[in-house]
Amino acid sequence: MNSSALSYTFSQRAQKLTGSAIREILKITVRPEIISFAGGLPAPKGFPTEAINRAYDRVLAQMGPVALQYGPTEGYAPLRAWVAEDLKRSGAHDISVDEVLIVSGSQQALDMLGKLFVDPGSKVLVEAPSYLGALQSFSLFEPTYVPAPTDEGGLIPEGLTDERVKDARFIYALPNFQNPTGLTLSLARRQALVERCAAVGLPIIEDDPYGDLRYAGEALPGLLGLGRAAGATVIRLGTFSKVLAPGLRLGYIAAPKDIISKLVQIKQATDLHTASITQMAVYEVVKDGFLGTHLPTVRELYKQQCTYMLDAMATHFPATATWTRPEGGMFIWVTLPAHIDSTELLARAIQKNVAFVPGAPFYTDEDAPKNTMRLSFVTVSEAKIREGVAVLGQLIKES
């Protein structure tokens, strides 16, 4: 019995939720003396504060009553049209406005897709490793995860064997600068993936928050455009979090109309619609090509940060460690010698005021490798990157 006077019974779903030990450890990483490579936060230097400020002013001055009123669940029509048009940059040329739903960040999209597709025990394919926030969203609906095999080139399409895909509800894939690995799927693999999924009728959820943050190599077509051409069902998630700012809580889903219609019903029950004023302000910011000038500055910043981190790792990490070299995005994935448990390493690193995220939680299988870690490089200064990486290098060598 609860010792307080209050009495309540949580749903079975809620009772199954467990706090993460790592989250507890990482809580202390907000302390100013900690050099944290743990966060997944974009760099505030990249936030276009003035442009957003002007946009909110304009919207309130010119369209205040609409901006402050309830709006359609599908989203602000001009913004939906802008998204449909902008998707052409990713190679999706024939997306209509009614195939776009505006959401409150792609995290909300993940929750809604869990509600749409997952019953207790439903098979769900995820890359091994995959984005922790997606696993948390889907897990509320109690799926049976099937890890999709990956290698240094990301997801392996041939790994989607008949047995793995049989009766699966969807595969969740991150083709660009994956969170957590930073890996990018080659064009050949993208093509093979959509063809395989078309052949077996497996829907693809393409989560692409980082695609616009490419600072090396050639841009590759997204799964939505490739999938449509191949006859696959692709549900694409996009967000303004990394190209403008995450505090806006604004993203979109692009998918076939009948999927969007169901998602609209789900979103209606969730929050009626995404904030009208935010949608209108962001439309004001992006409508005349702002991203064309803004994104190059963000990419340059991230490229510089990534270079600081890779240089420091080359200097301080032992040859027994290996790591990815991202062409964009925010993360580097490190594989340590097999005997090193990165959760134990984290405890020692925190004593020396350095933090990172151990790799194990990004896997859904119990026997996941324990010798990996994710390093985020975008918010830490060059000097602190060097200092923090030197500490990690020393600890790895001592292990």
Residues found near ligand PMP in the complex (CB under 6 A): 40, 105-107, 131, 133, 174, 179, 207, 209, 239, 241, 246, 251
Nearest by Cα to 363 from 355, 354, 351, 371: 371
Give the CA distances from residue 241 to residues 235, 249, 278, in Å, rounded to whole numbers and listed in that order.
19, 7, 12
Whichever of 239 and 276 has its CB closer to ligand PMP, that residue is 239
The tokens for 247 are: 């505090």
Q: State the minimum distance, in angstroms, from the CB of residue 166 to ligand PMP.
A: 26
Q: How far apart (Å, rounded) are the C-alpha atoms in residues 167 and 186?
A: 27
CA neighbours within 13 Å on the CB side: how many for 63? 17
Q: State the minimum distance, in angstroms, from the CB of residue 160 to ligand PMP.
A: 20
Q: How far apart (Å, rounded) are the C-alpha atoms in residues 58 and 52?
A: 10
Beta bridge pairs of residue 357: 374
The tokens for 183 are: 């890996």
Q: State the minimum distance, in angstroms, from the CB of residue 22 to ligand PMP.
A: 16
Whichever of 180 and 358 has its CB closer to ligand PMP, that residue is 180
Q: How far apart (Å, rounded) are the C-alpha atoms in residues 171 and 200?
A: 12
Q: State the minimum distance, in angstroms, from the CB of residue 253 to ligand PMP.
A: 11
Task: Please give the residue whose beta carbon sits closest to ligand PMP in the complex.
Answer: 105
Q: State the minimum distance, in angstroms, from the CB of residue 387 to ligand PMP.
A: 25
Strands (E), 233-348: 234-239, 251-254, 322-323, 331-335
Using DSSP, state whether 122 is helix, strand or coil.
coil
Whichever of 209 and 388 has its CB closer to ligand PMP, that residue is 209
Whichever of 143 and 238 has its CB closer to ligand PMP, that residue is 238
DSSP class of 166: T
Rg (CA), the chain: 21
Q: How far apart (Å, rounded) are the C-alpha atoms in residues 167 and 177?
A: 28
Nearest by Cα to 186 from 161, 215, 152: 152
Whichever of 131 and 317 has its CB closer to ligand PMP, that residue is 131
Whichever of 135 and 396 has its CB closer to ligand PMP, that residue is 135
Whichever of 197 and 245 has its CB closer to ligand PMP, that residue is 245
Q: State the minimum distance, in angstroms, from the CB of residue 268 to ligand PMP.
A: 19
Q: State the minimum distance, in angstroms, from the CB of residue 126 to ligand PMP.
A: 12
The tokens for 134 are: 């997606």
Whichever of 108 and 276 has its CB closer to ligand PMP, that residue is 108
Q: State the minimum distance, in angstroms, from the CB of residue 158 to ligand PMP.
A: 24
Whichever of 174 and 281 has its CB closer to ligand PMP, that residue is 174
Q: 273, exposed or middle or buried, with CB in 10 Å at 0-12, 13-18, 19+?
A: buried
Q: State the minimum distance, in angstroms, from the CB of residue 187 to ligand PMP.
A: 21
Q: Which residues contact 86 (CB under 8 A, 6 or more apart)?
A: 286
Residue-wise burial string across 328-367, b where 16 or more C-beta atoms lie within 10 A, e elsewhere? bbbbbbbbbeeebbbbebbeebbeebbbbbbbbbbbbeee
Nearest by Cα to 36 from 363, 355, 376: 355
Whichever of 180 and 316 has its CB closer to ligand PMP, that residue is 180
Q: State the minimum distance, in angstroms, from the CB of residue 241 to ligand PMP.
A: 3
